[in-house]
Amino acid sequence: MSTATIKRTSGRGSRVSQPSRRPRQSKGLMTQLLSYVPLSPEQIHKLMTWLIGLIVAAVLWIAASFLGLPAMVGAEISDLAGRAGFAVAKIEVRGLERMDEMPVSDIAVKYVDRSMLSVDLDKLRAEVMTLGWVKEARVSRRLPDALVVEVVERQPVAVWQHDGQLKLIDASGAALGSVDPDSIPDLPLVVGPQANRKTEALAKLMDAAPALKPMLAGATWIGNRRWDLRFQSGEQLLLPEGEAEAAAALVNFARMDGVDRLLGRGVLRFDMRDPSRFVLRLPPGQSKTDAPAVTSAKADTVVTTGSAEPKAATPAASSQETEG
* Structure confidence by residue, pLDDT tens digits, 73-92: 555 454 554 454 468 888 89
146-153 and 90-94 strand pairing: parallel
Angle at 287 between CA 281 and CA 290, to 5 degrees: 80
Q: How far does the chain reach from its first CA to its final CA, in angstroms? A: 163
13 occurs within a structural domain: no
| pLDDT of 44 | 66
Whether residues 67 and 102 fall in one domain = no
Whether residues 94 and 169 fall in one domain = no
| pLDDT of 321 | 42
| pLDDT of 118 | 78
Question: How much of the chain exceeds pLDDT 70, in percent?
Answer: 73
Whether residues 161 and 149 fall in one domain = no
Return the axis-axis angle of helices 199-207 and 243-260, rounded to nearest 10°: 40
Whether residues 285 and 255 fall in one domain = yes
Whether residues 237 and 249 fall in one domain = yes
Rounded CA separation 31/104 (Å): 67
Whether residues 301 and 211 fall in one domain = yes
| pLDDT of 314 | 52
Answer yes or no: are the C-beta atoms of 121 and 139 closer than 8 Å.
Answer: yes
| pLDDT of 177 | 85
* Structure confidence by residue, pLDDT tens digits, 230-245: 999 999 999 999 999 9
Whether residues 70 and 129 fall in one domain = no
More confident residue, 67 or 126: 126
46 occurs within a structural domain: yes
More confident residue, 49 or 204: 204
187 occurs within a structural domain: yes
Q: Tell me phi and psi for residue 75, to 5 degrees.
A: -65, -40
Rounded CA separation 187/68 (Å): 57
Q: Which residues of 277-293 are buried (b: 16+ CB within 10 A; e: fewer)?
A: ebbbbbeeeeeeeebbe
Whether residues 199 and 271 fall in one domain = yes
Has residue 68 got a pLDDT over 70? no
| pLDDT of 312 | 45
Of the residues 153, 170, 197, the one at which a domain ends: 153
| pLDDT of 247 | 96
5 occurs within a structural domain: no
More confident residue, 269 or 76: 269
114 occurs within a structural domain: yes
28 occurs within a structural domain: no
pLDDT, average across residues 244-257: 95
pLDDT-derived band at 324 (thresholds 50, 70, 90) equals very low
Q: Tell me phi and psi for residue 5, to 5 degrees.
A: -95, 125
Of the residues 153, 183, 212, the one at which a domain ends: 153
| pLDDT of 319 | 38
- Per DSSP, the chain holds a count of helices (H) and strands (E) of 7, 13
110 occurs within a structural domain: yes
Rounded CA separation 275/206 (Å): 19
Whether residues 172 and 277 fall in one domain = yes
Burial class of residue 230 (count of CB atoms within 10 Å of its CB; 0-12, 13-18, 19+): buried
The residue range of the domain holding 113 is 86-153
pLDDT-derived band at 71 (thresholds 50, 70, 90) equals low
Q: Tell me the CATH number at 132.
A: 3.10.20.310
Segment 294-298 long-range contacts (CB within 8 Å, at least 24 positions apart): 294/256, 294/260, 294/262, 295/259, 295/260, 296/255, 296/256, 296/259, 296/260, 297/256, 298/252
Has residue 145 got a pLDDT over 60? yes
Of the residues 24, 46, 81, the one at which a domain ends: 81
Has residue 202 got a pLDDT over 90? yes
Q: Tell me the CATH number at 179.
A: 3.40.50.11690
Provide the number of structural domains found in the chain. Answer: 3
Rounded CA separation 58/271 (Å): 77
Whether residues 296 and 194 fall in one domain = yes
Question: Within 10 A of 98 (CB to CB), how many other CB atoms are there?
Answer: 13
Nearest to 313 by CA among 164, 189, 157: 189
* Structure confidence by residue, pLDDT tens digits, 16-36: 555 555 555 445 666 666 566
Mean model confidence pLDDT for the chain = 80
